[in-house]
């Protein structure tokens, strides 16, 4: 059974970051000036951005940033975000905070991230208020402070940012920074759900199932889980599967359970992968299969699922003792497993592209610093240092070029993997 045990680290992290639980990026419903379309072509924005329009500069940076897995214009995204942020455009300041936080084209630096988030949050930008709250909640770049986190979430929630509404509900549910109050938690979850937040819908299902702040109601729980699932929420899909697996409020139906677990696992849900492994290990609605169980536990463990890690260790130990480990480590090629593996490979490649491109930008920055040592000075010593700097810069330019070549190769692999005509089994990730 999946519910939200801890707050999401970041609306964006979780790409990576992710992730996973990864909470969904908060959908913003607000009276603030909307950001420009992220699908707008760079060429149509270039004239306005070059003329100094901060909104166009941000939109142009967004265009490059969102295409970073298919193009080589990562540096362009950073350059335009910086120009926009220099004009105090809050969305650009917030985005630079994200890039510092998640090591996307900039050195990982939580304190710098907090600084940019605060600049944008103090201008009333709801998404930055949300991100600043996340940092206070996690104790990243600042001392952990649940009361400060609650205060910033409240500011963002008052602008109808659904992710912040969900966070306030979780704080009331868990008693973080405030006294535990299930009625307040339900109210905030319902408000977030009304703004389309599927994580909130999933949490409403969990609270109905557990009977928190209301009479236990499995029918209502399943209804909320189905709403969240219809919105693509993998955690809710896993919860539905769990109810069918254990006969919670419904008749036990292993085929239904497996179907829901497969849907969730295909979207990166580690709990679902672990449950599939369990069903194969113990033959729940499927033939008992240690090889498939082991493979699914490996998927769950790779996604950071603690129960999956424990089950993997236990099953591996049991198979070693019985002398059957080797026969259980053969390849698994069924469609559901390959689909889940494909999701993992795509996330892995995207993370590697971001890391390599960030390293390339860092190398170029070092080269630039060396090239500008004592530049402009005409005395003999300064000229010597300039020559030394230029020589040293060559090394970093070479390293940056190597990084970009690696990133280009990774992009080719990613394009092949994301090609719907390409069988997943034919794509191998080194």
Phi-psi region of 287 (alpha: psi -120 to 50; beta: other; left: phi over 0): beta
Neighbours of 88 (CB within 10 A): 12
What is the Cα–Cα distance from 430 to 428, expressed in whole angstroms? 6
Between 207 and 24, residue with greater pLDDT: 207
Provide the H-helix boundaries in 69-145: 74-86, 90-102, 110-121, 126-138
Provide the H-helix boundaries in 122-174: 126-138, 146-157, 162-174
Q: What is the mean pLDDT of residues 272-300?
A: 98
Name 16's bridge partners. Answer: none
What is the Cα–Cα distance from 426 to 52, expressed in whole angstroms? 47
Contact between residue 107 and residue 362 where contact means Cβ atoms under 8 Å apart: yes
**What does the radius of gyration of the chain's CA atoms come to, in whole angstroms?**
25
With a cut of 60, say whether residue 257 has pLDDT above it: yes
Q: Which percentage of the chain shows pLDDT scores above 90?
A: 68
pLDDT band at 8 (very low <50, low <70, confident <90, very high): very low
Q: Please, what is the angle between helix 162-174 and helix 146-157, to 10°?
A: 140
162 is written with which tokens? 């659904």
Q: Is 365 helix (H, G, I), strand (E, B) or coil?
A: helix
pLDDT tens for each residue of 377-426: 555 444 444 444 566 678 888 888 999 899 899 999 999 998 877 665 44
Q: Is 136 helix (H, G, I), strand (E, B) or coil?
A: helix
pLDDT tens for each residue of 111-147: 999 999 999 999 999 999 999 999 999 999 999 999 9
pLDDT band at 66 (very low <50, low <70, confident <90, very high): confident
pTM above 0.85, yes or no: no
68 is written with which tokens? 């970073």
Q: What is the mean pLDDT of residues 213-237?
A: 98
With a cut of 70, say whether residue 194 has pLDDT above it: yes
Q: What is the mean pLDDT of residues 230-246?
A: 98
With a cut of 90, say whether residue 68 has pLDDT above it: no
User: What are the residues whose beta carbons fall under 8 Å from the beta carbon of 407, sequence distance 6 or more?
Assistant: 72, 74, 353, 356, 357, 360
pLDDT at 423: 60
What is the Cα–Cα distance from 61 to 80, expressed in whole angstroms? 5
With a cut of 90, say whether residue 7 has pLDDT above it: no
pLDDT band at 40 (very low <50, low <70, confident <90, very high): low
Most confident of 21-30, 259-268, 351-360, 417-426: 259-268
Where are the extended beta strands (E) located within 8-68? none
401 is written with which tokens? 């070029």
Q: What is the mean pLDDT of residues 178-190?
A: 98
Q: What is the mean pLDDT of residues 287-310?
A: 97
What is the Cα–Cα distance from 253 to 366, expressed in whole angstroms? 60
Neighbours of 131 (CB within 10 A): 29
Average pLDDT over all residues of the chain: 86
User: What are the residues whose beta carbons fall under 8 Å from the beta carbon of 91, sequence distance 6 or more?
Assistant: 35, 58, 84, 120, 125, 127
275 is written with which tokens? 């449950």
304 is written with which tokens? 């950071």
pLDDT at 396: 85
Q: Is 355 helix (H, G, I), strand (E, B) or coil?
A: helix
What is the Cα–Cα distance from 307 to 312, expressed in whole angstroms? 8
**280: nearest Cα among 343, 339, 222, 336:** 336
pLDDT band at 272 (very low <50, low <70, confident <90, very high): very high
What is the Cα–Cα distance from 128 to 134, expressed in whole angstroms? 10
Which of 9-23, 29-43, 153-167 has the least mean pLDDT? Answer: 9-23
């Amino acid at each position: 059974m999946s519910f939200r045990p801890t707050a999401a680290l970041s609306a964006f992290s979780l790409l990576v970051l992710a992730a996973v639980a990864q909470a969904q990026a908060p959908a913003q419903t607000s009276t603030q000036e909307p950001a420009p379309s992220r699908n707008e072509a760079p060429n149509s924005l270039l004239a306005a951005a070059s003329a100094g329009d901060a909104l166009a500069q941000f939109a142009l940076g967004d265009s490059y940033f969102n295409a970073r897995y298919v193009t080589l214009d990562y540096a362009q995204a950073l350059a335009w975000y910086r120009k926009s942020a220099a004009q105090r455009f809050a969305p650009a300041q917030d985005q630079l905070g994200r890039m510092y936080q998640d090591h996307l084209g900039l050195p990982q630096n939580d304190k710098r991230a907090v600084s940019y988030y605060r600049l944008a949050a103090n201008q009333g930008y709801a998404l930055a208020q949300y991100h600043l709250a996340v940092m206070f909640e996690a104790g990243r770049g600042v001392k952990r402070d649940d009361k400060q986190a609650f205060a910033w979430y409240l500011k963002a929630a008052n602008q109808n940012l659904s992710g912040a509404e969900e966070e306030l509900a979780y704080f009331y549910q868990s008693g973080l920074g405030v006294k535990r109050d299930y009625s307040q938690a339900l109210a905030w979850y319902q408000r977030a759900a009304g703004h389309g937040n599927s994580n909130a819908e999933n949490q409403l299902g969990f609270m109905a199932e557990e009977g928190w702040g209301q009479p236990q109601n499995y029918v209502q729980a399943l209804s909320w889980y189905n709403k969240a699932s219809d919105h693509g929420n993998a955690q809710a899909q896993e919860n539905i599967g769990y109810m069918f697996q254990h006969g919670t409020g419904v008749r036990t139906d292993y085929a239904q359970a497996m179907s829901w677990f497969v849907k969730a696992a295909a979207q990166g849900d580690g709990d679902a992968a672990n449950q599939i492994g369990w069903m194969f290990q113990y033959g729940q609605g499927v033939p008992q299969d240690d090889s498939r169980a082991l493979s699914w536990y490996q998927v769950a463990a790779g996604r950071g699922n603690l129960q999956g890690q424990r089950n993997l260790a236990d099953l591996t130990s049991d198979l070693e003792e019985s002398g059957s480990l080797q026969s259980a480590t053969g390849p698994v090629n069924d469609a559901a497993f390959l689909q889940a593996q494909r999701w993992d490979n795509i996330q892995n490649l995207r993370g590697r592209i971001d890391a390599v491109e960030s390293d390339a930008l860092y190398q170029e920055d070092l080269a630039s610093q060396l090239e500008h040592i004592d530049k402009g000075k005409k005395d003999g010593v300064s000229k010597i240092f300039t020559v030394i700097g230029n020589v040293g810069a060559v090394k970093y330019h070479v390293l940056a070029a190597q990084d970009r070549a690696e990133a280009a190769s990774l992009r080719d692999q990613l394009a092949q993997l994301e090609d719907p005509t390409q069988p997943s089994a034919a794509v191998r990730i080194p």
